Amino acid sequence: MTSGTRSHLKVLKRLLLVAVGMFGFGFAMVPLYDVFCDLTGLNGKTGGRAAVASIEPQLDRTVMVEFIASVNQSMPWDFQPKVIRMEVHPGQMYRTSYYARNRTDHAMVGQAIPSVAPGVAAPHFKKTECFCFTEQEFAAGEGRDMPLLFMVDPELPDDVGVVTLSYTFFDKQKAIN
């Protein structure tokens, strides 16, 4: 084997090692990103179910909560909030809902992913009942209201007057495949 061939093999081995390393890093990014967002509250990710103790509502303060709904580009569903905005008192529980409908002629499973803006408000938006906690299976053409029970924590910084809760629905089958 010539020295040129050995040099080429050495470069090829390094490139393969870099490709395998990049694949492994890419594969690990999603769980690492989720952990990072959970720890820092960045990207507006909300936690799971909130255990809400008896909290005294702040009746002298109001916060505007805006509701947004979208579907992933490939998701053939209708999806919208029942109300677009709601004025709430921190510490008080509120109920609203979102409506979703599968426009296809076959059953589909979707998952709603929440996001709260501004990011500093995410840890203070408490959901006790939410369709986002589980996958949603819809028959062909099925539509239904999906409840949301929430509270804005009184510890929300005073300079935050508007909180936006946004959900994006994803096709769970395509996410798996």
Residues 173, 37: Cα–Cα separation, whole Å: 25
Tell me the two tokens of residue 122.
Answer: 């995410």
Q: Which amino acid is at 116?
A: V
pLDDT digits 0-9 by tens, 86-124:
999 999 999 999 999 999 999 999 999 999 999 999 999
pLDDT digits 0-9 by tens, 116-157:
999 999 999 999 999 999 999 999 999 999 999 999 999 999
Specify the pTM: 0.69
Residues 114, 135: Cα–Cα separation, whole Å: 13
